[in-house]
Amino acid sequence: MSEAEMMACTQHALEEYVTEAGRELQRQLMQDQLDARAAREPRLGQIAGADGVARRRAEAGHRRLVATTVGPVEVRRIAYRAPGAPNLYPADAQLALPQRLYSFPLRRQVVHEVAAGSLRAAREAIIRATGQHLGTRQLMQIATETAVDIRDFYQPADGPSTDPSADGRDVLVLSIDATGVNMIGADLREPAPTRPAGPQPPSAQLARRERTGRTRMAVVTAVYDAAPAPRTAADILPADPAERATRRRGPRTSGRKVDASLEHSVAPMVTDLFDQAQARDPQHRRRWVVLVDGANHQLDRIRQEAQRRGVHIDIIVDFIHVLEYLWKAAEDLHTSHNAHAAFVHATARGLLEGHAPRVVADLCARLRIRAQTNDPAPGLERATAYLHAKQPYLNYHIALALGWPIATGVIEGCCRYLVKDRLDITGARWSLTGAEAVLLLSAVIANGDFDQYWQFHIDREYQRTHASRYKDQYALAA
């Protein structure tokens, strides 16, 4: 630092040198400390493994590498051996070394980068932060191995404790949705259609909007609390400036927990969703409100699960989905945008005020008139069929009066930032193992549970890697 070249350099050059040299200094400090511990390691008389074989032969100087956030270090320790039995290394258990090359702090940094962006971006971020060069295959392997304990972590016996509402006034909201992820052919739920043999005819079409058989549905669930906020239809769709000026805010949410999976279908995900709700309200003292987009399979599984548990639920179809169908119907019925908006406003306002039967009857009448004139109206037909089928779940006037949410904004946002923002990167094709690991890790991070999960995962790794190999299991040091 005192040489003439360094004394004459710029500040940014000095900072870059200190950062690089400081990383090597930290690595050397760690190496020296490990060497000192190796020199002081006591020789034991024997070590008994879980297989019951006593290792009485001790060999010093066995080495292994560990890749850390400051660089690779070498660990020397005594190996305890017996004929026909694998070696045991008590020093590895004392250090709680990982089974593979990469240290836990480095793996933790990798997990955050892989969950946040593409593997190439994660690789570059790791190089900038630590100077360590890892391949994309190694990054995905680390993420996959880190996610193995997440399902167990969220089980009621092992998972983080929840604090149910003491007075039972908050509404317990459950929501579920699904979105597609581009997968490699081997990991689709059904085999992808194959092209016929032989040369293909030339085509000027560069890309298709629909790639049938290329995606697999990721199921996303969310459970959260909502403080009731009574409202009226005027608060949702005001008709004049006076109503707009007096609009009231909707219910505020808290305690959100999300989950997502490509491996599990709707049925097990609904079961897990109800398990999370059951942990919050074991006595069923709160109102359970289920927000869905109207998918029949999801509705069937939700009703079956609620009946099996003996809990009363109130199902509400997402109001935003209803608006989308109404806009499609408006395009068939009217020609101008102003007429579209007026129709949607009047029809949606009627639904919010509790006039769903009248709205459905009006749409059916309009559809019959169009049929008599042989004028196709696919948007009107779909809207009529949707509202007629979901009419039991359109009691918005009751939900608003009781202060419940009526839109699935929470679950739609979860689908976006858990699935689309990460897995829908241009050109990405996922394996089931890799995509499931990224989804699970993203959910843990979004829930704010990663610190707790990381300690849980380290304890599990210690049990698998070290404690389970000894007859008298070692306890993990602080």
pLDDT of residue 206: 46
pLDDT of residue 476: 44
Q: How many CA atoms lie within 13 A of 2 on its CB side?
A: 0
Q: How far apart are CA 287 and CA 200, in angstroms?
A: 58
The token duo for 339 is 């007429």
Q: How far apart are CA 220 and CA 414, in angstroms?
A: 7
pLDDT of residue 164: 47
pTM above 0.85, yes or no: no
The CA-based dihedral angle spanning residues 127, 133, 136, 138, taken in that order and rounded to the nearest 10 degrees: -120
User: Average pLDDT by consecutive 10-residue portion of the chain (478 residues)?
Assistant: 87 87 91 94 89 90 93 94 92 92 94 92 92 92 94 70 55 92 80 52 48 77 93 91 90 90 92 92 92 91 94 93 92 89 93 93 90 86 92 93 91 87 86 92 93 94 90 56
Domains in the chain, CATH or no CATH each: 1-160+449-478 (no CATH), 165-189+213-317 (3.30.420), 319-406 (no CATH)
Q: How far apart are CA 171 and CA 406, in angstroms?
A: 12
- The DSSP string of 144-157 is HHHGGGHHHHTSTT
C-alpha distances in Å from residue 271, one per residue of 197, 221, 234, 257, 302: 44, 11, 37, 15, 9
pLDDT of residue 172: 94
